[in-house]
Amino acid sequence: MARDYTAANTDLTSWGDVLDDHEVDWSLFFWTFPEGTTNTGYVASKFIVDFEGFFVRRDGGDASQWTIGIADNSAGNSVNLGAASVISDTWQAIIATLNDTGSDDAGVLNLWRDNTANAESTTADRIGASTNAFGVGNRASDLARSFEGGVAEVAWWRDYVLTAADRAVLQAGYSPLFIHPLPTLYWPMIRETTDIITATAAVSDTSDVRDHPNIIYPTSTPIQFPVAAVGGANPKGPLGMPFHGPFAGPIGFYDEIMGNEEIIRSAKRELRVA
C-alpha cells in the first residue's frame, strides 16, 4: 500500500534532516498519483519559505504543471514542465536531478515526468548545509503546501545524476534497487515509512494508505535485468513469470521486501556483479 495524502488534513510524512550538506550532484525519484485538477502542494521538499533547500510540487500558481525549485537564499531558482504536465488521477514517475558541473554558476537542474516531458535550467543554487526537514506530502516547516494524492517509491541519490538508461528503468516500473549505484536513501512507502537503506524511521506521519503502483523488486534468488524489455517481449523473472510494467498486474514481492535484510543484501550483490 502506498501513502495517501489529504490536503484538508495537512498530511505530512517527515524524516527530519536526512538530506544534509548536498553541495553535490543529486537525484530524486518518486511515483505520484495527483488527485483532481485544482489541488496544489509540495510532493517532496526540504524547504522553508525564502530559505535554503528544494521542493518538487504541483505548482502553486498553476495546478496543471510540475515545478522544481531550489534556493540557498531568498532568490532561488525554479523550473517547470509547463501547462498540462500534471496528469491527474493516474500514477506518474517524477525525476529531478541537479548536475553540479563544478562551476558555481552552472549547475543544471532537470525535471522529468514519465521520462518524456523534460525541462531544465542553469542555476547557481544548491541545497547547501540546510538543516530543514525532508518531507513528503507537505512543507514540513509550516504545513502550508498540502498535496492531495498518493506517493510511493521515493528514492534519493547523493553525488549521482540518473542517466537516460536509469530513468527508462525506473519509468518502466522497476524498483530503485535495480539502479547502480544503489540509492542513498529509499522509501518504498509500502505501508511503512522507514528508509530501507539506512533504517531511518519517519519522525512524523499523518498519511493514510492506498493502492501501491505495481513495482518490480529484486528477489533473493538470481534475477534477470530488464535489458530485453525494450522493443520486445517481457523477459522472464526468476520464477518463470513474465515481468510486468508498472500497471500491468500484481507483483507479489511487497511482503518480501519489507523487513527482509537478506533480500537487500542479495540485491546489492547482484548489482555489484552486474
Domain presence at residue 133: yes
- What's the pLDDT at 130? 66
DSSP 58-78: E-SS-TTSEEEEEESSSS-EE
Q: Which residue has the cell 517547470?
A: 80
Q: How many domains does the chain have?
A: 2
Beta carbons of 174 and 226 less than 8 angstroms apart: yes
Is 124 found in the same domain as 164?
A: yes
Asked if the structure places residue 218 within a domain, the reply is: no
Between the two ends of the chain, the Cα-to-Cα distance in Å is: 30
Inside any domain, residue 66: yes
Q: For residue 68, which of 113, 15, 132 has the smallest C-alpha distance?
A: 113
25 neighbors 98 (Cβ within 8 angstroms): yes
Give the per-residue pLDDT at 264.
53
Q: Residue 210: beta bridge partners?
A: 2
With vertex at residue 20, the alpha carbon angle to CA 16 and CA 24, rounded to the nearest 5 degrees, is 145
In terms of domains, do 188 and 57 share one? Answer: yes
The Cα 179–Cα 220 span in angstroms is 16
For the chain, 274 residues long, give each residue's pLDDT as a single digit of tens. 799 999 999 999 999 888 765 667 889 999 999 999 999 999 999 876 666 788 899 997 889 999 988 877 656 777 889 889 999 999 999 999 988 766 555 678 899 999 988 988 777 666 666 677 899 999 888 899 999 999 999 999 988 999 999 999 999 999 999 999 999 999 999 888 999 998 989 999 999 999 999 999 997 533 333 333 334 343 333 333 333 334 333 333 434 444 445 555 555 555 554 4
Q: Which domain holds residue 186?
A: 2-210
Q: Is 157 left (phi over 0), alpha (psi -120 to 50) or beta?
A: beta
Angle among Cα 78, 55, 3 to the nearest 5 degrees reads: 145
Within 66-209, residue ranges assigned H as helices are: 164-171
Whether cis (ω within 30° of 0) applies to the bond prior to 213 is no
Are residues 153 and 197 both part of a single domain?
A: yes
Q: Whole-angstrom Cα distance, residue 153 to residue 95? A: 11
Residue 156 lies in a domain: yes
Secondary structure tally for the chain: helices H, strands E = 3, 15
Same-domain pairing of 142 and 230? no
DSSP 3-state of 265: helix
Say if residue 264 is in the same domain as residue 193. no
- pLDDT for the residue 242: 38
What are the strands, taking DSSP E only, across 106-261? 107-113, 117-123, 135-136, 149-158, 185-187, 204-205, 208-210
Pairing verdict, β 135-136 and 13-14: antiparallel
Q: Are both 238 and 175 inside the same structural domain? A: no
Same domain, 249 and 182: no
CA proximity to 236, closest of 255, 254, 250, 216: 216
218: its cell numbers: 529484486
Cell numbers standing for residue 92: 506518474
Single residue among 210, 245, 261 that ends a domain in this structure: 210
Where residue 147 sits, what CATH number does that domain have? 2.60.120.200
My answer on whether 89 and 120 are in the same domain is: yes
Q: What is the pLDDT of residue 25?
A: 86
204 & 70 share domain: yes
